Amino acid sequence: MAESESKIPSDKDIVDDAGTHARGPVARLRGYLFAGIVVTAPISITVYLTYVFLTFVDSKVTGLLPRDWYDALYGATTFPGIGLVISLTGFILIGWFATNFLGRLIIRISEYIVDRMPVVRTLYSAIKQVFETIMASQSTAFREVVMLEYPRRGVWSIGFITGTSEGQIQEFTESETMNVFVPTTPNPTSGYLLFVPRDELKFLDMSVEEGVKLVVSAGIITPEEHKPSTSTAKKNGKRKKK
């Protein structure tokens, strides 16, 4: 919250932005307009996106309920978020069922059938592995933000460590290699998978969330400066500066 408040211009900033007091009224109006947008836009966009998300989920999930049940509970009114509550409850129940004996048996039979389908088994296996890697509590995927010289020497890009290279990829490289996902701007869900020697990476003291914000905003939202930690200094092969 403190960071957001620092972006709102004060009266002094508005006058200074005008350059002269002769243009004061126009500069003040422009500054007030800017301040109003800075305050209103994030809240409005957040509320709108939340409403769109809840409405989308409600429209898909509440359709599964018999209309008589829904009308009996809420009448003719619409209860925002009921679809999300139903979805979360459904995921919890499915997770509970999948952890008992009968659920595991059904899953094994289903996977056995899917494994016999040429194209579907490849797609299912890839998606399942990605989700298991991301959701695992001990996973190191997307836990560290790094800088690397890409696409050429002298040009730096932001990347996310997804793991240590293994198998043939590591066998064909002389030094320890890391799997680095370099996202595109402003859509971080697409990007490039690079196998980069560990000693060519610069580990950053910023969270993955801060790194994603930096990518999505095209560099407009810059994370606040962090003091280099001892662990990061060791990873970069440098001593921590006092």
Three state DSSP letters for 6-70: CCCCCHHHHHHHHCCHHHHHHHHHHHHHHHHHHHHHHHHHHHHHHHHHHHHHHHHHHHHCCHHHH
Q: What is the CATH number of the domain that holds 207?
A: 2.30.30
Confidence of residue 45 (pLDDT cuts 50, 70, 90): confident
Residues 230-240: tens digit of each pLDDT: 666 667 775 44
pLDDT at 87 over 80: no
Domain that includes residue 18, residue range: 1-99
160 inside domain:
yes
Report the C-alpha gap between 40 and 57 in whole angstroms. Answer: 26
With 0-12 / 13-18 / 19 or more C-beta atoms within 10 angstroms meaning exposed / middle / buried, residue 45 is exposed
Task: Supply 222's token pair.
Answer: 């810059």
Which range (8-12, 98-102, 125-129) has the least confidence? 8-12
pLDDT, mean of residues 137-148? 74
Confidence of residue 161 (pLDDT cuts 50, 70, 90): very high
113 inside domain:
yes
Which range (85-89, 119-123, 185-189) has the least confidence? 85-89
Q: Are residues 38 and 121 in the same domain?
A: no
Q: Are residues 19 and 55 in the same domain?
A: yes
Report the C-alpha gap between 119 and 29 in whole angstroms. Answer: 61
Q: Please give the pLDDT value at position 69.
A: 62
Q: Are residues 211 and 194 in the same domain?
A: yes
Tally the domains of the chain. 3
Confidence of residue 141 (pLDDT cuts 50, 70, 90): low
Report the C-alpha gap between 18 and 103 in whole angstroms. Answer: 68
Residue type, 118: P
CB 192 within 8 A of CB 182: yes
